[in-house]
Structure 1
């Protein structure tokens, strides 16, 4: 019997076609999953990196930022006492004893910050003075240009200048007499020594030295007390003028004379720093406190007739 339904067709879907479609969808799904995973990994990594960078920057910034009261604070007492102890125990023959170091250190501790500290002479205590005047301005003046250059090269943090002294220790009497005669002119107690022709005044220091309001001045140079040595007459006179000529800051200036038992220190201290300004003294150190004076002043001391006496001989 023949099949009369000749128009009927049987259509079969080959299994391969079904598998191919499913495989494509799987590949697409896998590709999307990989992209999603990569995006998530990138997002997480970026956030973590940003967080670490921000946190690190914050730590660095906080460590570099000055804490209130710390940036301008002086050295701790224990550090100061340690520095003084080891400096006073130095093996150097010419080092200062503790009894001389302590008064200067005490004044520096009480000095308002930043403190301006001027020292005549490079000595075994040079690095100590720089350290004790923490956050302040410390300037050294020395008569030996070669040693000054060597010291500055050895310690670049030290601010040192050389000066040419034109005085002689043996001429002290004549130089003091000349300064007192010129007290109303070239050797005035209040003036800018940069423009002065006073024989005792130092007028060849860097310009800014005359413009600074010095809070503390230490005269520990130049070296030598023989007839042809420069002596400390000019350094003492200059210290007195700088102290009286301050334009601002604290009106008082502490002036220390080291080797106070020396003839030049005693005589010139009395003449130009004045006995009524002498706060305390021992055999090695004289401590004067000078106040700012009016520019019209024509005498160094309140008592015009000085209580000191000039040496009878200059030899």
Structure 2
């Protein structure tokens, strides 16, 4: 029969049912990758061209190996990272803006940027300050070695912390009792015996006038973790002991992450001072601390407001 000869048999292969789902996952991955790449590239180009209201891809400088390294790093970590300790987009924008202002108001050569903690954002910080000097401090020697091998050019040093979060109250009381001695705000920490001071860093760390200090380490999530008491105290002393000779910038921008936690909150109030807090974004506190230089009366007080947090 003619009708029978025109009959067609259609077979559905099982793989056909899987293709739409595969395409959806591919589209989702592509969208995530390019969204992340666009965000990071926008952050970088905004830092390079602060006068422009919107970054232009045509006018952007050629992408440096640092920028490319950061993009690849974030793209690889985006899908499987579940860490809750990473900086938010708003916090990263605040860090970027601080570094950008440093470059604009300075010589254009970039910032002297000191970072406590090796984190997911390490490569981004180096990229943002690619024309300056960026130094990282971390308590995990094995992590420093791995990062240096994977990303040549990283300048990082290990720190031996002798404090614990559970000792917070005792350490603050001890520092107050010794505020006219080894725990004073202006000093050479290399010769300090203050329990909160870091005195075993490479010598040049104490000699550099730091423009920006970012504190996102060491770990402070448990009572036995080192906590950031020493990092905050050391940053405060470095800022107040700044030389700034020859008309240099006398102020230091100090950014403290996890300011909602007790250690970060109390130590920031004690040594960075509430009157120096210029911005708070999510869990990031931005302090601007001026040096205590020549011609100023010698004092044992870190803050002009003498009312210290109760312990």
Same-fold status (TM-score > 0.5): yes
Aligned CA RMSD, in angstroms, stands at: 2.4
* Alpha-carbon distance in 2 for matches of 1:280, 1:101: 13
Structure 2: segments with no counterpart, 5+ residues: 1-46, 50-54
SS in structure 2 at match of 1:243: helix
Give the match for residue 267 of structure 2.
268
SS in structure 2 at match of 1:185: coil
1:90 aligns with 2:92: no
Give the match for residue 48 of structure 2.
75
Compared with structure 1, are the counterparts of its residues 87 and 266 closer, same or farther at alpha carbon in structure 2 (3 Å cutoff)? farther
1:128 aligns with 2:124: yes
Give the match for residue 93 of structure 2.
102
Q: Which moved more, 1:279-288 or 1:206-215?
A: 279-288
Give the match for residue 154 of structure 1.
150
TM-score, normalised via structure 2 length: 0.71
* Alpha-carbon distance in 2 for matches of 1:87, 1:75: 20
Structure 1: segments with no counterpart, 5+ residues: 1-73, 311-315
* Alpha-carbon distance in 2 for matches of 1:285, 1:106: 13
* Alpha-carbon distance in 1 for matches of 2:148, 2:301: 38
Give the match for residue 185 of structure 1.
181
**How much does 1:87 deviate?**
5.5
**How much does 1:229 deviate?**
0.8
Compared with structure 1, are the counterparts of its residues 207 and 118 closer, same or farther at alpha carbon in structure 2 (3 Å cutoff)? same
Tell me if structure 1 keeps the 8 A contact 2:91–2:282.
Answer: no
TM-score, normalised via structure 1 length: 0.70
Number of residue pairs the alignment of both structures matches: 236
SS in structure 2 at match of 1:198: coil
Q: Deviations over 1:256-309 (max 9, x none)?
A: 001111111111000010000011113410010000113723110001122x33
**How much does 1:114 deviate?**
3.0
SS in structure 2 at match of 1:134: coil
* Alpha-carbon distance in 1 for matches of 2:240, 2:289: 7
* 1:139 paired residue among 135, 140, 146: 135
